[in-house]
Structure 1
Amino acid sequence: MRAALSAAFAACAVTAVLPGSASAEAGVVGARGAGVERVSAAADGTEADGNSAGASITHDGRRVVFSSSATNLTPDAATEGDSVFVRDQRTKQIQRMGNLAPIQPPVISGDGEYLGYAHQWITNVRIRQYQVGTGRTASLNCSAYSCDQPSLSADGRYTAHVVRSPRQPTFGQRIEVQDWNDGGSNQTVAALDHTQPSRPSISGDGRHVAYQDGKAKDVFVWDRTGGTTSGPIEGPAAQATLVQLSDDGGKVVYLSGSDTYVHDVRTGAAQSLPNVRGVAIDPTGRYLLYAPHDTTGPSLTLRDLRTGTEEIVADQPASAGTDAVSAGGRDVVFQSTADDIVPGDTNGKSDVFVRHFY
């Protein structure tokens, strides 16, 4: 499969120059171990001279992708606008991925081999995907339409995304899955008669896609096996907003009112977490990252859904996105403007950090 996907990229690819550079930023921890470290720093340890945000982490916690307006993270960093960067936590190498400015947070496959992000292309929006190791690139097959909001399977073979027509409002939108091993073919998950939020979230094996109907405020789960859709999973009497589908396809996190729910796809049961906003779930579906509505406490907390135990991710004001938790809840990536998370933070910018729990 990997060879076939590489070939699909190579068929319409150009090789980007991606100079790797060792980062000297140490933060509170050096290599692995409990603590927190800053990810958005230049090779020589110099603080980023721009804001960094929109981070995602791989299943094993090795690679972090984020966007930044900094001009000093790599020698080829852009002089204006945002760029996408990948940092290897093991080697401390940092790379700029392409020369296009992202208009949404970048995403990375669970194995860290592929990433993708939406960017403006003349009057349309396109999704460009990159093979991290080689820099090869390919664009999703969106024909004359715009496509955005990518979600990648664990090995990068499948990309779930949203397709719209800027010049035909009555087109509404489609949620599709592109299979890079099948010549870039697209399979329609759902067709909606509106353009309100419908961000998809795909499982690691590409079998399930969770998505929301932003107009009806319902959440559904599509199963590739029979092309069937179940839902609304929150029930007909409630309104819901999708957060994320776990990589194993077993749990769907959604918001309803002021509460967060974790829906079990197999049993249909839902676990309720009152008065908190779910942010992300780890690939195994066991650990939930949430932000309490009560602003007097920690800004981000990681909860073990099986035991009920919790770990504080950040006491300072901070935020995170989906795909922010590595497998087993070992690492959590987040962003903050606070200057006391690691020593020597004096840039006055939003930085990206990783909290290691073990």
Structure 2
Amino acid sequence: MGAALSAAVVVCAVTAVLPAAASAEPTAVAGGLGAGVERISVAADGTLADDNSAGASITSDGRHAVFSSSAQNLTPNGTTGRDRVYVRDQRTGQFKRMGDLTPLQPPVISGDGEYVAYTVKWMRDVRVRQYQVSTGRTASANCSAYSCNQPSLSADGQHTALAILIKRPSLPEHQTIEVQDWNTGGTKATVAEFDHTYPSRPSISGDGRYVAYQDGEANEVFVWDRTSGTTSGPIEDSSEGASLVQLSKDGSKVVYLSGSDTYVYDVRSGTAQLVPNVRGVAIDPTGRYLLYAPNDTNGPSLTLRDLQTGTDAVVSNQPASAETDAVSADGHDVVFQSTAGDIMPGDTKGKSHIYVRHFS
């Protein structure tokens, strides 16, 4: 466990300015042009995905999105109705299927859209499978004879932060958090070790320098710096526990939950900004835009806040959810999933679809 930060955490309240709920979503757009919402779980010919899609993330430039789907009509070779991982090129509308394995957790994509990783069942254990999108080349994270999961990719996909879980009858349960190299599968650095297997949720910065993670047993959040080889934390107020959401890709902000509130911690200053009575979901790569779900169920289900101005923009008025890495740089695009049938016209299937909210 790292030493406590010497800098005090300063909490600044930000008044929520929630737009009034509307009966329908803002005007739909096609091809990512202009402001509005676009459904992307559609085949190249424009037909809806014929089964559920979920767990989406988007690249920093908003061009590529990854998600899992049991739809059989997204690519010509289809599937057998089992969940598979797909990457969609927003510019061309084309899909690539990443392997023929069923993901156990939502897939993640590198900031440049070149690499994808997700967890799969392997014998008695869990493995992290990685794919290079352009070539289809595959690799597995080096987990020895143990399980590994919770992958997080650097911007160029060359570094993967992940948790390695050791649960064997002859050994005490424990885990390590590592940063591994795509090309060699070898360990670049051991970030932390715990004598338990509670979720650690590692989140790596775009340049691979920082990794934020949580001690799931103690409910504490830490930040590791590869350059200095040091760990800072716990970063939260010591009187309350915390649950990690995400480290921004520029390494400047850490989003964590504590009680019914969300905090955005500034790595450089050691201060935290309070966003009260909301559940943080994701932060954009620049650390400026926070995607959150209001705890007040009478309002929008997903909202994007500009942390500099304190202003909010509705992502979805209808019931919806999102993953980390759901926001592109500068908050231009937000990817989310919903089973609501009235987000866009023409949805008669009653399935979970993937949408992108575009902000001009």
TM-score of the superposed pair, with normalisation by structure 2 = 0.90
**Equivalent residue number for residue 272 of structure 1:** 274
Which position in structure 2 is the counterpart of 1:54? Answer: 55
Alignment check: 8 A CA contact 1:56 1:321 kept: yes
Counterpart of 2:72 in structure 1 is 71
In structure 1, C-alpha distance between the alignment counterparts of 2:85 and 2:211, rounded to whole Å: 25
- CA distance, structure 2, for counterparts of residue 92 and residue 184 of structure 1: 35
| Structure 2 counterpart of 1:149 | 150
Question: Aligned-pair distance for 1:183?
Answer: 5.7
For residues 254 and 353 of structure 1, what CA distance do their matches in structure 2 show? 25
Task: Give the alignment of 1:93-242 within 5 angstroms.
Answer: 93-168=94-169, 170-181=172-183, 184-242=186-244
**Stretches of structure 2 lacking an aligned partner (at least 5 in a row):** 1-26
Partner of 1:170, secondary structure, is: coil
Question: Which of residues 312, 315, 322 is equivalent to 2:314?
Answer: 312
How far is the alpha carbon of 1:179 from its aligned partner?
A: 1.9
Aligned 8 A contact 1:52 1:67 in 2: yes
Could you tell me how far apart the structure 1 residues matched to 2:193 and 2:66 are?
A: 30
Match of 2:359 in 1: 357
Cα deviation 1:288-335 (Å, max 9, x = unaligned): 000000000000000000011111000000000100000000000000
In structure 2, the residue matched to 1:287 is 289
Q: Secondary structure at the match of 2:177?
A: strand
Instruction: Specify every segment of 5 or more residues in structure 1 that has no aligned partner in the other structure, as ranges.
Output: 1-25
- What is the distance in 1 between the residues matched to 2:183 and 2:278? 40
Q: Structure 1 vs Structure 2: percent identity of aligned residues?
A: 71
Measure, in 1, the Cα distance between the counterparts of 2:188 and 2:194.
Answer: 16
For 1:101, the aligned partner's letter is T
What does the per-residue CA deviation read over 1:157-188, in whole Å, with 9 as the maximum and x for residues that have no partner?
11000101232561311111102355633421
Q: Which position in structure 2 is the counterpart of 1:337?
A: 339
- 2 CA distance for matches of 1:30 and 1:249? 30
Moved more, 68-77 or 57-66: 68-77
Deviation at 1:200, TM superposition (A): 0.4
Residues 77, 83 of structure 1: 8 Å contact kept: no
Quote the residue 1:256 is aligned against. 258
Residue 205 of structure 1 and its aligned partner are, at CA, apart by 0.4
1:57-91 CA-partner distances (Å, limit 9, x unpaired): 00000000000111121122221320000100001
Alpha-carbon shift at residue 128 of structure 1 (Å):
0.9
- 2:29–2:35 contact (8 Å) kept in structure 1: no
Q: What is the CA–CA distance in structure 2 between the aligned matches of 1:35 and 1:79, rounded to whole Å?
A: 33
* CA–CA distance in structure 1, aligned partners of residues 331 and 292 of structure 2: 13
Residue 334 of structure 2 aligns with an amino acid whose one-letter code is V
Partners of 1:57 and 1:64 within 8 A in 2: yes
* Structure 1 Cα separation of the partners of residues 77 and 293 of structure 2: 36
Q: From the superposition, tell whether residues 197 and 185 of structure 1 become closer, same or farther in structure 2 (CA, over 3 Å).
A: closer
Amino acid paired to 1:271: Q
One-letter code of the match for 2:239?
A
Q: Which amino acid aligns with 1:338?
A: A
| Alignment correspondent of 1:17 | none
Distance 1:64 1:74 in 2: 15
SS at match of 1:110: coil
Aligned residues: 333
Say if 1:212 and 1:242, in contact at 8 Å, map to a contact too.
yes
SS in 2 for 1:328: helix
Displacement after TM superposition at 1:31 (Å)? 4.2
Residue 313 (structure 2) pairs with residue 322 (structure 1): no
Distance 1:342 1:91 in 2: 21
Q: Which structure shows the higher helix fraction?
A: 1
Say which SS state the counterpart of residue 138 (structure 1) adopts: strand
SS of the residue 1:112 aligns to = coil
- Normalised to the residue count of structure 1, the TM-score between the two structures is 0.91
Q: Distance in 2 between matches of 1:48 and 1:177?
A: 36
2:17 aligns with: none
The answer (yes or no) to whether the contact 2:31–2:91 under 8 Å persists in 1 is no
Q: Which residue of 1 aligns with 2:13?
A: none
User: Which 10-residue stretch deviates more, 328-337 or 67-76?
Assistant: 67-76
